[in-house]
Structure 1
Amino acid sequence: MSDNRIPMTRDGYDKLRGELDRLRGPLMIEITQRVATAREMGDLSENAEYHAAREDQGQLQARINELADRLGRAVIVDPSALPKDTVVFGSRVKVKDMEFDEEEVFELVGPGQENPEKGRILTDSPIGEGLLGKKKGQVAEIEVPSGRIKYKILEISAAKID
């Protein structure tokens, strides 16, 4: 587990907290009952229902651990109190792709609020990290899995994070 703090809004935190509560509560109870019911069916070495339920239980526990870790490292940030002239968590950034001469808009958000289809990217994603700290007019050179991207910062404003 990492010591890195994770910025998120109160809404993002509450959304993850709600998911964690749901996973620890009703979902874990349901899977535990499936394991118990399958165990009662007899020979565990050849019991496919038991093995499937145990695998589901393990995956659920891994997700619970991940969410608990994120929430434990969360730092609640009020985006309205952040600088408006620098790309930071909670910024809405209009950029120009220098290679393709196309404009894109990104909102830098925390866990639980990401939605790449809507341009909402995590601050710790490659593009998010590459944009952080930049000001209007600067060029961000970002290493991504498909190569290198150059974005010119055109506008910075506060994201409308819900």
Structure 2
Amino acid sequence: MAENEVLITEEGLEKIESEIEYLKTVRRKEVAERIKVALGYGDLSENSEYDEAKNEQAQVEERIAKLEYMARNAKVVKGNELNDQIVNVGSAVTVVDEDTQEEDTYYIVGSAEADPLEGKISNESPIGAGLMGMGIGDVADIDVPQGKVRLKVLKISIA
């Protein structure tokens, strides 16, 4: 993988493109209107509304630039490139913790679309990296911030 490539699923790329469109068509206009209103308050040296609006404008532009970079450098992992025998970006992996016997399903995604609250973990995270390349029945000993976990792969499917 090239150093600047961003691994991403088709769904993740669609979300990025949708957010770019929203930021460009909606948020830019909202922030520009806030700046216009704040300019009407007069003296800019003590105008906190103007300062806040300009800071928000900078944040929106920074987010747009970051998302456009990710979209430009995206390496989309397509479903037809995946299989249900090996864990890869785009896989849904059901594992069991061999110590607690607790089962979890993780969706392995590129770092750009990771969202642990949705069960989407990055292929660069400790658990994601530890599961990459594993097959059904394989056991991974993974160092996590809380110590070590021993996960056995029960099922792999294409997310």
TM-score when normalising by structure 1: 0.83
Secondary structure at the counterpart of residue 80 of structure 2: helix
2:156 corresponds to 1:156: yes
Moved more, 30-39 or 19-28: 30-39
Aligned residues: 158
Alignment match, 2:35: 35
2:84 corresponding residue in structure 1: 84
Structure 2 match to 1:126:
126
| 1:65 CA drift (Å) | 2.0
Q: Is the 8 A contact 2:79 2:158 kept in 1?
A: yes
Q: Distance in 1 between matches of 2:80 and 2:106?
A: 17
Give the match for residue 74 of structure 2. Answer: 74
Deviation at residue 115 of structure 1 after TM alignment: 4.3
Percent of pairs with identical residues? 37
Offset at residue 113 of structure 1 (A): 5.4
Q: Give CA deviations for 1:104-145 in whole Å, capped at 9, x if unaligned.
A: 111213467544344222323332122111122222222333
Q: Matched residue of 1:42: which SS?
A: coil
1:47 deviation in Å?
A: 0.7
TM norm structure 2? 0.85
Q: What CA deviation, in whole Å up to 9, does each residue of 1:67-86 have, x standing for no partner?
A: 11211221122123223211
The question of 1:140 aligning with 2:140 is answered yes
- Which range is displaced more, 36-45 or 109-118? 109-118
Distance 1:111 1:122, change over 3 A: same
Is 1:35–1:53's contact at 8 Å kept on the other side of the alignment? Answer: yes
Query: Aligned equivalents of 1:99 and 1:40: distance in 2?
Result: 64
Q: Secondary structure at the match of 1:104?
A: strand
